[in-house]
Structure 1
Amino acid sequence: MKQYWNEVQPVDGFYAVMNGQISDHDKKIISFLYQPLMGVLSTNLYTTLAYMVEESRLWSEEWNHYQLMDLLGMNLDEIFQARLKLEGMGLLKTFLKEEPDHRSYIYELQPPLSAEQFFTDGMLNIYLYQQLGHTHFSKLKRIFSDAAVNKEEFSEVTRSFQDVYTSMNVRALKNAEGQEASLPDSQMRFIHRERPEPIHIYEDQFQFDLFFSGLSAAMVPRRAFTETVRDTIVKLSFLYSINEIDMQKIVLSSMTPDDQIDLDELRKAARDWYQLENGDKLPQLVYRHQSPMYRDMVSPGETKESKLIFYLETTSPRQLLIDLSEGAQPAVSDLTAVEEVMLGQQLEPGVMNVLIHYVMLKTDMKLSKNYMEKIASHWARKKVKTVKEAMELAINEHRQYQKWAADKKESGQKRRKPIRTEKLPDWFIMQDQDQESPPPQPQAVQAVNQQDFEERKRKLEAIQRKYRKNGGEKGGEH
């Protein structure tokens, strides 16, 4: 059963809560700026929760998730995923109260960033630009901006408070009864516009100790690393997948003559580095690893299969390509093909990893985008979400995938057909050593000779090296 059932069920109750006022302008920002990144389902969930709270109130009455499913026309899995995206965007905070016979949630809606905060965020604006393109992005920027008022030819003549009003008696200002009466009642709070919080990428994602070890204080004084600079470095590292060593060079290139770090130059240098590495493209907002709700393994386990599943669930497709190449950086064309297939078919990263592994070993370690896309389309229609599901479907549909590969070859240039030796991933034929009776293997697998088996085993070692070295724990991301 899928993991979301462990977190929420249709009978669970919830309250929609406003963390301050959310205006129509806020909802416009969410629709125009946030929606392209998180999708229409998340936007609908946010708006529906907001409308559950009556005007000039902070709380709604209690609802349950059955009612929310009916209102939105969405199943519980879709609602849960939409909720996670809102949480990730900083638009929702979730609180849980568990009782013996009842479980209830508080869904606290957070105000979005202002348009100015969004367009100067340094991360969300880049994702939006890549998602929409220059023309559409510029149009949205114009919608949320206007010509600045030129006041240079005017002089201010505004009166101050004391110019207009007579000063009150000192005793009246010290009226304790009036001061106390102004405070909100117990368990109450004033309705106000809450200050939105920007998205935080936690510093544990970036090892500053390693970063500083190759950057002497003489080169860059430590006082230059203010809280804002550190936060920007962490964001850029996440956004552009920049490791600590490469970030050293980027920071050095953004230094000013007075030993300060120019944030604009830092962002530009990071963007230039990424585009140089990735064929002049900008990053897109996708899950780096398998979403936790679609993971079957919380630890590597003891068996070879469980360790491999854990690895595929906790590794990004980019890192998998690096491991399959025994540390070599993947070609830009391969990264582009993986990105387009994964985003186009909306595959989970772990599922994409299984597809990469299967296709590369079927095509002599080459990535065929068309072949990948055909299988990915099939998996998308089957709603494959987990690594295990992808492996099982690859085994069950192996003959059909063989036929697709054969059809592709026949449609190309006619040439003498070589003797073909079947190559398959090791998980295709994997069996635990402690099993008393191994499961029956497909006929194609039985025909594989020992030499090819050893070749596949060697290739699999490349992606197993990381968790073998760490006793089953996954390594860091690149």
Structure 2
Amino acid sequence: MKVTNLLQLTEHHRYVVSRRFGLSPLDSRLLWTAYQPMIGGTAVALYTTLYSSLASDAVGDCDAGTLGQLFLACGLPPNERGRKQLVDETAKLEAVGLLQSFRRMDGDEVAAYEFRLQPPLRPDQFFGVHHLWLLLQEKLGPNGAEAVRRSFAADGGAMTRPAEHETLEDISAPFYEVFRMTVGAVSAEEPPEPVEPSAALAGGEFGRDGFRGDELLRRFPRSHAHRRAVERLVADPARLAELNYHAGRFELTLKQTVSLLDEDGMFAANGEWAADRFQARAAEVYRGSNEQAMRRERTTHKQAAAREGEASALAAERDVSAPYWLEVPEQFQGQCDVRQYNAMLANSPYTRVLKMFFQPSAVPTAVEEAFLTMKVNYQLPDEVLNVMIHYIRANDLDWKRNYLDAIAGNVAGKRIRSFENAVTYFRKAEQSRSGAGAAGRNGGDAGNAAAGAAPQRAPGARRGRPPGTAKPVIPVAKSSDSPEATEEDIMRMMEMAKRLTNG
């Protein structure tokens, strides 16, 4: 709580407590074993006192009371020392995210104080917040903090984890399979207003208006080295808007944003925020998150394909009209006709077609990964990938990863999702390649024709003059026999030059 004038925090001022949650036994245990070593027993006692202002089986706002009642409940003297202690203890709760304090002003006078309680973090969340974990290690030591963390983790043994040969199947029944809603049960009245979620949980993701300053400050304790710099940052609306712009553009969570602000070099010695460095690091985090998500998608796709195997055939095959038929490559001549070949491209999975084109060799790993990225991350249909494979093989193009990614990027960007659209696109691409090649050949033929107009030499003949021709006569400058210029001639020429210069 930030109070500069302690006369605005007397026992006569009123306060209310707002709570939108209830404490479970796990929350209470975490409060006393993890939070209490960091903020002290007095702060936790203040938290439980504020919590008990409402019944344990209710949520909402309590009746207004005076701070004098809070002083007596916490054993604080109603004097300057007690007010300072109340400010200090509430600040500890605010620093670890358990409390938000607000002051209602009526002109220059304080009308009331509002204390909004926040629930303790879940154990997995608490021990994943780096500054809380570091503070707990500082208070208890590394071994003590690790012992507290392990006390919240329960390992059920080998039966809780599936073996390597086992698969995990979700057999839970959804709502619509168990319950049936009748028309008469639907009321025309508006549903009751839902209870607002806790700000501590809602602040994990980037909202419509970005992260608030108090959400960022709650992650930086007052003893933190960057606390002052972050306070200056969130106090400047322009800087906070710029921070939220970068966080929204690179899809950063609140935890990622706080982690980046906590890095070395993110603030200068004078507390100035290094926005360019933050933007660069946010871009790296964004790219890393995207790559991890793409790898997870590809791994999931591989696992699903391995479970399904070859048994997942298409229910109904589609036919391809004659204008969109592709010619049968030379390696498949005699094995199928043009109709069968195009039906195979339109209905077979791309993995099977890729193996057919590479037989008897195995498909290179780089090519497999490239097409897996097109299928899973770019969401390109199998029929489009099959047309792409035919186009690359028929035109003898490269199978390099960069080249395949470039083709797939164009196909995905043009939103090609059918066999016919893919055939049209690749035919146009082939025509443009043929036109460029013909232009190059025409230019080369013209150069060859111009070179052919020159006289031809017999094979084995030496370079030089044709036989029987004489060496050309080259005129040579000779010295003149005229007399040299005298001094008078030189003086006369100099005077003439002066007259010409003076005009």
TM-score category (smaller protein): 0.3 to 0.5
Taking structure 2 as the reference length, what is the TM-score of the superposition?
0.40
**Larger RCO: 1 or 2 (CA < 8 Å, sep 6+):** 1
Give the greater-gyration-radius structure (CA). 2
Taking structure 1 as the reference length, what is the TM-score of the superposition?
0.41
